[in-house]
Amino acid sequence: MDVLAGRDHERAAVAELLTGVRSGTGRALVVRGDAGVGKSALLRHAADRAAPVRVLRATGAEPETGLAFAALHQLLRPVAALTEALPDGQRDAVRAALGLPAPAGAPDRFLVSAGVLSLLTEAAEPRGLLCVLDDFHWMDRASADALLFAARRLDTEGVGLLIGTRDTPEARHLLRELPEVRPGGLGAADATAALVGWTGVQPAPQAVERLTAATGGNPLAMRETAELLTAEQLTGREPLPEPLPIGDGVHTVYGAQIARLPADTRRLLLVAALEGRGDPHLVLGAAARLGVAPRALDAAEAAGLVSAGTEIAFRHPLIRSAVPATASPADRRAVHQALAALLDEAGDADRRARHRAAAALGPDEEVAADLAAAAQRARDRGGYADAADTLSLAARLTPERGPRARRLADAAAAAWLGGRPGQARTALAAAEEIAEDPAVRTELARLRGRFELTAGDAAQALRIFHTAAEQAAEQAVRSAEPRRAGGAVDAAEGAPATGAAAARRAVELLADAAEAASAVGDADAGIRIGRLAGALPGPWDRATAFLRDVLAGCGALQEGDAEQGVPLLRRALSGVRADEDDAATLLWAAAGASLLGEGDAAAGYGARAGTVARVSGMTGTLPVVLENTATAERMNSRFALSAALSTEGLALATASGADNSAAAHLANLAVCAAVRGREEECREYARRALAIAIPHRLGLRAGVAGYALGILDLAGGRYPRAHERFTALTAAGPGAGHPIVVWGSAGDRVEAAMAAGDEAAAREAVAFLERWSAHANSPRPGALLARCRALVADDDSAVPLYQEALRLLAADPGAGYDRARTGLLLGERLRRDRRVAEARRYLREAAEAFRQLGAEPWERRARGELRAAGETAEEQAPTALAALTAQELRIARLVAEGASNREVAARLFLSPRTVEYHLYKVYPKLGIASRTELARLLAEPAA
């Protein structure tokens, strides 16, 4: 009997998957359906026919659902030696996840996932790799996350993932983006053939019809029910029983089979079911502790429920889940206790903790502490989601309110890091209900604020952070006042032993509040935060002093107090080392430089922060770091690279549930599309950004999205509409706009206003720009101001002002876009003044610069002006860089900076082989043949 009768469509899908793997194409395929529908048979069919492709297998087990990386260990154990071929960060992360010797420190889950992808591509050499993943719905979340990360990035690696899963809500959510087949019930003809194969008799049509209707054509249910019928009943010589012996499902059939077994056999089966792995030593050892001899297994084998050998395997997962259902609670607890005792002797603390918890009759601090320790080990390996589950269980078993609140808070943080925002919020709410310790309540407030700032209402995050920061600042001031000899503080009052520690915590909370205020665009909140920071007492360590100066300086500048604010920010920025390796420090430096009006310096800090985050493995914060890096590259005229970085950031933010970071990347993508003349893309990105930003009160992101639409109109010559959009940005309050966007768009506002005939608005914008850039020391702000003054000049001063702007920008490699915009305006002014010969030079240079930058609408405008100046200006072909995909461009940039393939793979969460594959495509597209030529090409300012 063909166990896959009626599965022609499913077999064809599997055959296509295998053909792709053999040819070097990677992909995933999900086989989703009800229990017993034939998923496992289809997966076995694929594995049997995979040759010469290498096959790795893993099967989820219900008792191991919460054990971080259990399924990954099962899958990758045969190829663990290949980890040595991985980039260093990926190698260490994967080794830690698999419990192998690795450097201390919790790896980020993205780094683990990237390492798994690289390891699978290594294992695919030379003939391809098929990973057969059965019962995916029971796999631990850490393994599932890593494997799905790989599944979404399989392309040219020759790796296939074949995933079998029941149709559960969580499985549908996790696997929603992957192609799938869904085996249905057998039809009458296939059901008849299957029944003949199972029973050896030809069933009557009415029997087939009844069985198919009663079971929905589910092969397993049909087989188990048919085996309870006589040949006479199947052939129609005797009537079928009414009702058929199906009960509420196949569990009932198995329950009846199990109930007929001897008591010792049932107990041994219970041990095997609750153990989960089928380890004969563990199963038989625990059974012996319960007084059950190994021979008790014979009856279960004879009944066809299990097979014994190197492992004790149930014929079907439903049998394993039916066994505990037939046992009493007392019997289940006894088995868990026996397994825990054996695992204790074996030194398997994580599994021991789970069995001890299952055996507990109620709250038990010793058991809860065991679970908390197991959760910490899971976090140390990067298994945050499973750690969250374990901590939630530990909290339920914790008798005292204080420790229970602490564990719930830890569960909330772990769930958030594990990409489970719903679970994180639930644990946080439970902790808030019972927490009494002021320190714990402060931490919970900070978590609540962080959750809101990452994926919720930024204004609510600001309120939470600001309240906590005010309380912490007040405590810091109190604790700085000596109350006893030596300055100690009464511990009974809940104050810290030193004022320095309290002040440091206050600065950290104020920084959180400032970040939220910036996201909202609330300048008044920024002023209040700056005042609080400035009033905090020292002494300070270097990092805290830097952060305090930035917060106080930014607040003072927002309040209009340049006399206090500028020196504070200058002092802070002077302390940022040239080789600074802390991404957070660089991002705060960028914020300070922005408020000083030095956008070029801010761009430099932001770009360096992205490099530092990648090299140091700070992947948990990478979506946020990439927001700043992508913006920095856009400000440095690298629009294609900026878009590529935001594409990457958007994917990471979406995968981790960071909706507000996703809004930032969408808004930046809208600006890049506007500059490059991609109108439909710009509007769609802006629409998606605003759909998140407006309800989440993200004024900065809403402002950038609005700016993108203004640039789109300005580049397209729709000047009145552009003027309206830029003017609206100046009136948008907190949650809908942002002061930085108002400043950043001032030059465009002047140009749009003059083109629309509103000279008064243009002069007002110039005056605003003069005030904002009054304390800037870098060239770019001065050049922008000169350009804007030239725009509103009605005398002969315009041309010298434009030329001064170009002089200031001449040595700035990141100012290509600004130079081209200025040259275009100068050429237009000279042409209007009938200085046509002079105009041509500037217009020609601007047109070529816009072509190199991919700024198509601006190039068209420049070439149109050239034609008006009497010069034939033929359309030029796009630059070679325009032919690169976003992925290829990111790889090319890093290679040009000197990174090896392994280093590029580590930074971009790819495998080294994928990097090599893309480079083979990049070289011919650019017409080069070496890394040296690539570095030279991308070092050119226009690139």
799 within some domain: yes
Nearest 5°: phi and psi at 850? -60, -40
Domain boundary among 558, 574, 590: 574
Location of structure tokens 């989601």: 385
Residues 703 and 818 occupy one common structural domain = yes
Residues 260-284 have pLDDT tens digits of 899 999 999 999 999 988 999 999 9
CATH code assigned at 925 = 1.10.10.10
> If you count them, how many residues does the chain have?
943
E strands, 167-244, in order: 180-181
CA distance 824 to 571: 38
Determine the residue type at 4: L
Instruction: Pick the closest to residue 629 from 608, 614, 598 (CA basis).
Output: 608
3-class secondary structure, 101: coil
Reported as a pLDDT band with limits 50, 70 and 90, residue 488 is very low
Residues 205 and 173 occupy one common structural domain = no
Nearest 5°: phi and psi at 761? -65, -35
CA distance 498 to 496: 6
Residues 842 and 700 occupy one common structural domain = yes
418 within some domain: no
Determine the residue type at 757: G
- Mean pLDDT for 796-817 is 94
Nearest 5°: phi and psi at 544? -70, -40
Residues 167 and 231 occupy one common structural domain = no
Domain boundary among 845, 860, 880: 880
Residues 129-140 have pLDDT tens digits of 999 999 999 999
For residue 204, give its domain range: 188-245
Residues 803 and 911 occupy one common structural domain = no
* pLDDT for position 296: 95
Residues 644 and 779 occupy one common structural domain = yes
Residues 382-434 have pLDDT tens digits of 888 899 999 999 999 999 999 999 999 999 999 888 878 888 999 999 999 99
* pLDDT for position 366: 96
How far is the CA of 637 from the CAs of 9, 594, 682, 823, 852, in angstroms? 51, 17, 17, 15, 10
Q: Which residues pair with 54 in a beta bridge?
A: 129
- Total domains in the chain come to 5
728 within some domain: yes
Q: Which residues pair with 132 in a beta bridge?
A: 57, 162
Cα 569 to chain center, whole Å? 33
Residues 188-231 have pLDDT tens digits of 888 888 888 888 889 888 888 888 877 777 787 788 788 778 88
465 within some domain: yes
Domain boundary among 523, 544, 574: 574
Spatial contact of 674 and 856, defined as CB atoms under 8 Å apart = no
Tokens of 735: 């949650």
CATH code assigned at 650 = 1.25.40.10
Instruction: Pick the closest to residue 643 from 600, 681, 587, 594 (CA basis).
Output: 681
Residues 701 and 799 occupy one common structural domain = yes
Residues 655 and 785 occupy one common structural domain = yes
Task: Name 48's Cβ contacts closer than 8 Å, sequence gap at least 6.
Answer: none
596 within some domain: no
Residues 887 and 876 occupy one common structural domain = no
58 within some domain: yes
366 within some domain: no
Task: Name 97's Cβ contacts closer than 8 Å, sequence gap at least 6.
Answer: 68, 69, 72, 107, 112, 115, 116, 142, 146, 381, 382, 383
CA distance 226 to 199: 8
Residues 82 and 35 occupy one common structural domain = yes
Residues 931 and 850 occupy one common structural domain = no
Spatial contact of 859 and 816, defined as CB atoms under 8 Å apart = no
Instruction: Pick the closest to residue 640 from 859, 890, 875, 816 (CA basis).
Output: 890
Tokens of 30: 């999900």
Task: Name 877's Cβ contacts closer than 8 Å, sequence gap at least 6.
Answer: none
Residues 59-100 have pLDDT tens digits of 998 888 889 999 999 999 999 999 998 888 888 889 988 888
CATH code assigned at 34 = 3.40.50.300
Whole-number CA gyration radius for the chain: 33
Burial 163-183 (b: 16+ CB within 10 A, else e): bbbbeeeebeebbeebebbeb
Residues 809 and 872 occupy one common structural domain = yes
473 within some domain: yes
pTM of the model: 0.81
Location of structure tokens 């809908």: 736
Spatial contact of 817 and 802, defined as CB atoms under 8 Å apart = no
Query: Mean pLDDT score of the chain, rounded to an integer?
Result: 88
